[in-house]
Structure 1
Amino acid sequence: MDEAKMSAQEYQRMQAYARIAKQVDFIEGVTPEGLVLVRLGLICTVYFRNGGQRDMGYKVLGCFDRFVEQFGEHLQGQFHSLSGRSFTSLRKDSIVKARVKLQELIDEGAMFSWDLQSEKTAEVAAEYHIETLTSNIDHDPEWLSYLKITLPWQLLEEPDGEQRFKDWVRYLCETLDVDQGYAGLACNLPYDYHQFQPYEFQMAQRYSGLMVDPAPHLDKAALEDGIKGVNWLTLLGPRYIEQLGGMAALKQQLQLPDVSVQETDNGRLMVQAGVLPDVGAPEDGHPPAYVAVNRVLKSVRVPHPDQLHTCMDDAEGFTKANTLAWYARFDDAIPAASVPPQASAGGLRCEAGLPCPESGIWWTPAKDSSHQHFKKGDLMPDFPGSSYGSTIWYREPAPDAR
């Protein structure tokens, strides 16, 4: 595509996608035989209440129906509450038969789990995956239920891929009356994930933009008291919106560079940090938009999170101490004053080291008093020692556009 004919948003998307693609070989774990044991992928995990109620249980099954309709050709394996604790490959009518059995549990008000994925075995990370664990009707509404989907990150390269994924996120928010959730990039582990936790831990130490989410059921109890944190998309239900001052006040606080918000039809808020998700590679620094959103939402983050990994020491995985450090990784990354209010989410943006897409006055929050004129094609300077993280330049609007 000719850069001169490229819109500002298309240019940003191209940069963001290239930033992901550059890191994939470092993130994914592949055996010499070509088996992908750890896979970079797009995830969305939502937590909701009343999972033991009959109508909510059928809504969960509706989410599975939608996933099978769109991605059923890729699905090869499953586990569910009545499968005898064993992961099995899919056979003819396996999904239909499982659905009938789970309907019986729903009708009884019993909790249930169901996993469908694109691998036949439990030892390989799947590209396509949907899973849930609901609550028992006797524990509603105290207990959270969850549903998680996984899709290939390459979906973002397709012309409508980003929108298709965000449509899924909105659909889950509106269908399940979500209390909280998140969506973005993660290291996806096999169904039998325990032995791969050390690898995920190593990647999480290097890439701050990756969500650590190997087993959402482990987080359910702690997340009764707060959200897990921010990611590319952070999903907020009514109680958190209220705690943050209400919808209007929160939207005002989130008028930040590269941040946008969407309100769902049922009063949930989808907060988007960046044009595409960011892995947060160390050479780029923490994703600036993630840091900015974290500052606004930090007060409702879970105060006492459960350990992200189980049965691990400090060298191998997440213990209680380094779990707390991971949750706080964005807290001190950038002073609040470093993001000037005149930066608009819709403005032209360019990363350091790339050619300037348009002549004009540009500035960066990575350096004080940085306003200067660049000509189209000039390489944008970098300030690698900045506490802001990566150097992102923003074009000042023309006087008649202010």
Structure 2
Amino acid sequence: MMAYAAIANRANFIDGILPDGQTVARLGLICTVYFRNGGQPATGQKVLACFDQFNAEFGQHLTGQLHSYSSRFSSLRKDSIAIARKKLEANTAEGMTIEWTLQSHKNGEIAPEYCISTLTANAESDPYGVLSYLKIKLPWQMLQEEAGEQQFLDWVRYLCEELDIEHGYAGLACELPFDRHQYQPYEFQIAQRFSGLMVDSAPHLDKSELKDGIKGVNWLTLLGPSFIEQADGETELCRQLALPDVRVEKTANGRLIIQAGLLPDVGGPERGHPPAYVAVNRVLKPIRVVNPDQLHTCMDDAEGFTKRNTLEWYARFDDLEAEPAVLAELTDAEQRCESERPCPRSGYWATPAKEDSRRAFERGEIMPDFPGSTYGATIWYWDENQD
């Protein structure tokens, strides 16, 4: 639970909320995969099957959509997903591009908690190896319980197998609205502070850069056969990745899921770069994209990702010694406390169940409960910053 507490302690620093209460930047749990042959009818059907599955599991949270036949977001009404799907299915039969976003907000101005989006190549571009992408966004709070963590891991495996991916990644990111441009400077500033977050606000642009190299490492780094071979093959790759806190899983269709750490790590300045990410990066650096274009458009060095600082971000884990994870001085019981129980340690605590909840408690003081919170159960976490 200490790994989860570390995420919870940083969430309020990462979320961006306007004075009117709108969330325009949100810590999110993401998985983005890149795959080929997006213009083939069989691949298009698999993409639509991913949307079917996402709607089946998270449909109660979805309220808006944008697709190839709409110029702006629209509210979901009865049968509107089915109608859109039918139109897009006709696209797949003709080898046309599929563009579709389903999300938990009715417009593109708020960062959604739940979202699935895709942009596929067309049949004419398939022979040139043009990539397609599919991305899901889910609440990071899923990681609090083993069942939620497993649900996310199952989704990662499902996407690897359903789409025969080339490569991808999964973990934490500072997620922006669909209309992202004015908030990219915020994403840039957060990325400078938290190295464990993936910069992923524009996978539809990144896919053109990632044809011959991966984007880098995250909590989960996903490799298809061509990149496994480039990394000296499965046997040698697994030998090099036989490291503390690193786990490698092979999917039914020969993809590798490389897990760095028990849970994602935001990599805050107080803790330094995530050690497991640094270790995996050392092994996978040779297959990383060599000369990527800038992550943001129309930015200067002070406000966003230009060509120069994009290269710096890609190389943030390079030339570092992977230090073994420092054992926390506090036990799990001293890091976490449920509401209406005595505080186990004097100091500053905070709970995700209430905004601006950070405050000092004395040992033995009963921890408050916020029963009306939309977050769920009130659980207090020790704040690593005790200043």
Query: TM-score if structure 1 supplies the norm length?
Result: 0.81
Which residue pairs with 2:78 in the alignment? 92
In the TM superposition, what whole-angstrom CA distance separates every residue of 1:300-355 from its partner, at most 9, and x where no partner exists?
000011210000011110000000000000002216xx66xxxxxxxxx7623324
Alpha-carbon offset, residue 138 of structure 1:
1.0
**Aligned runs of 1:290-369 on 2, under 5 Å?**
290-334=277-321, 351-355=327-331
Number of equivalenced pairs: 332
**Aligned runs of 1:103-114 on 2, under 5 Å?**
103-114=89-100
Q: Which secondary structure state, in structure 1, belongs to the residue aligned with residue 83 of structure 2?
A: helix
Give every structure 1 segment of 4 or more consecutive aligned residues whose post-TM-superposition deviation is greater than 3 Å. Answer: none
Which residue pairs with 2:13 in the alignment? 26
Could you tell me which amino acid in structure 2 is paired with residue 291 of structure 1? V
Whole-angstrom CA distance in 2 between matches of 1:225 and 1:243: 10
Q: Is the 8 A contact 2:64 2:103 kept in 1?
A: yes
Which residue pairs with 1:128 in the alignment? 114
Q: Which secondary structure state, in structure 2, belongs to the residue aligned with residue 126 of structure 1?
A: coil
Of residues 49, 52, 59, the one that matches 1:72 is: 59
Alpha-carbon offset, residue 180 of structure 1:
0.3
Of residues 138, 150, 160, the one that matches 2:124 is: 138
Which residue pairs with 1:182 in the alignment? 169
Whole-angstrom CA distance in 1 between matches of 2:167 and 2:303: 29
Report whether the alignment pairs 1:53 with 2:40.
Answer: yes
- The alignment's C-alpha RMSD in Å is 1.3
Alpha-carbon offset, residue 217 of structure 1:
1.0
Report whether the alignment pairs 1:249 with 2:236.
Answer: yes
Q: Is the 8 A contact 2:2 2:332 kept in 1?
A: no
Distance 1:327 1:109, change over 3 A: same
Q: Is the 8 A contact 1:218 1:306 kept in 2?
A: no
Report whether the alignment pairs 1:119 with 2:105.
Answer: yes
**Aligned runs of 1:283-294 on 2, under 5 Å?**
283-294=270-281
Q: Which secondary structure state, in structure 2, belongs to the residue aligned with residue 160 of structure 1?
A: helix
Whole-angstrom CA distance in 1 between matches of 2:19 and 2:97: 40
**Aligned runs of 1:391-402 on 2, under 5 Å?**
none
Could you tell me which amino acid in structure 2 is paired with residue 152 of structure 1? P
Q: Which secondary structure state, in structure 2, belongs to the residue aligned with residue 247 of structure 1?
A: helix
Q: Is the 8 A contact 2:167 2:224 kept in 1?
A: yes
Q: Which secondary structure state, in structure 2, belongs to the residue aligned with residue 137 of structure 1?
A: coil
Identity of aligned residues (%): 66
Report whether the alignment pairs 1:207 with 2:204.
Answer: no
Alpha-carbon offset, residue 248 of structure 1:
1.0
Whole-angstrom CA distance in 2 between matches of 1:31 and 1:154: 22
Whole-angstrom CA distance in 2 between matches of 1:160 and 1:306: 38
Q: Is the 8 A contact 1:286 1:333 kept in 2?
A: no
Alpha-carbon offset, residue 356 of structure 1:
9.8
Which ranges of structure 1 fall in alignment gaps of 5 or more residues? 1-13, 340-348, 358-402
Whole-angstrom CA distance in 2 between matches of 1:272 and 1:159: 16
Which residue pairs with 1:391 in the alignment? none
Whole-angstrom CA distance in 2 between matches of 1:66 and 1:51: 19
Query: Which has the higher mean CA deviation after the structures are superposed, 49-58 or 87-96?
Result: 87-96
Q: Is the 8 A contact 1:261 1:270 kept in 2?
A: yes
Of residues 236, 249, 254, the one that matches 1:267 is: 254
Which residue pairs with 1:157 in the alignment? 144
Could you tell me which amino acid in structure 2 is paired with residue 325 of structure 1? E
Whole-angstrom CA distance in 2 between matches of 1:240 and 1:280: 26
Could you tell me which amino acid in structure 2 is paired with residue 18 of structure 1? A
Could you tell me which amino acid in structure 1 is paired with residue 122 of structure 2? N
Whole-angstrom CA distance in 1 between matches of 2:79 and 2:19: 35
Q: Is the 8 A contact 1:291 1:331 kept in 2?
A: yes
Whole-angstrom CA distance in 1 between matches of 2:319 and 2:9: 27
Which residue pairs with 1:3 in the alignment? none
In the TM superposition, what whole-angstrom CA distance separates every residue of 1:158-177 from its partner, at most 9, and x where no partner exists?
23111110100000000000
Q: Which secondary structure state, in structure 2, belongs to the residue aligned with residue 26 of structure 1?
A: helix
Which ranges of structure 2 fall in alignment gaps of 5 or more residues? 334-387
